[in-house]
Amino acid sequence: MVGNDIVDLNEARHASNWQRARFLDKLFTELEQSYIRDAKNPFIMVWRLWSIKEASYKLHTQMYPARFYNPKGFECTLDKNSATAKFKNFQCHVQTRVTSAYVISEAHLDKKKLSSVIVKFKGPGQKAQSEELTTRLLKYAGGAYQLNKNTLGIPALSNGEEHRYVSLTHHGSYGAFAIS
């Protein structure tokens, strides 16, 4: 099982405003807000924490299939490039990489290295980009794998015999996938 999440920093600058009233309170715990306050670059810290929460939520949906929106409920504790996220009795390990263009986080139940393949989309358009990401994933997976999403939108790879967990993420001009 795996969950991942990418944040296109350029998109985050334009499409979101983390400094708007009540934004931080809605999404982040006291501890997380202290990370943001103390960060050299609060903007990067906001999106790092967000991507950790999203990656953890996606992993959670693979274990406990249900959709909900409770980012604040996934409590992050940071340690260098690693983090742990807790939600009720669920806990996972998250690795994050920050570049000048994006932040990528990947959540596993055990400590694992980040394996997400990053895709920079050729053109605009949510639909075209989503197709490009799927094409790249299937090429990478090889064989006769097909991508299926269940009614909750949780993706999985299958070739009729083997099933593999997969996580896809898409934001702005960037996408990524991870297979486990």
Partner 1 sequence: MTKEQLITKLKPLIEPYVQDEEAFKNLSEDTDFVKDLKVNSANLVDIILDIEDEFDIRLENEDMEQMLDVKSAMEIIAVKLGI
Question: Using CB under 8 A, which of 71, 82, 136, 179 touches partner 1?
Answer: 71
For 131, the 3-state DSSP assignment is helix
Helix (H) or strand (E) holding 46, with range, is helix 42-63
Binding mask 117-156 toward partner 1 (x if CB under 8 A, else -) reads ---------xx-------------------------x---
* Separation CA 1–CA 29 (nearest Å): 26
Specify the 3-state DSSP secondary structure of 71: helix
Q: CA triplet 87, 88, 93: central angle to 5 degrees? A: 40
48-67 binders of partner 1 (CB under 8 A):
50, 54, 67
Site for partner 1 in 9-48 (CB under 8 A): 12, 15-17, 20-23, 26-27
Does 100 bind partner 1 (CB under 8 A)? Our answer is: no
Rule CB under 8 A: choose which of 2, 4, 7, 83 binds partner 1.
Answer: 7
What tokens were used for 128?
């075209």
List of residues contacting partner 1 (CB under 8 A): 7, 12, 15-17, 20-23, 26-27, 50, 54, 67-73, 126-127, 153, 171
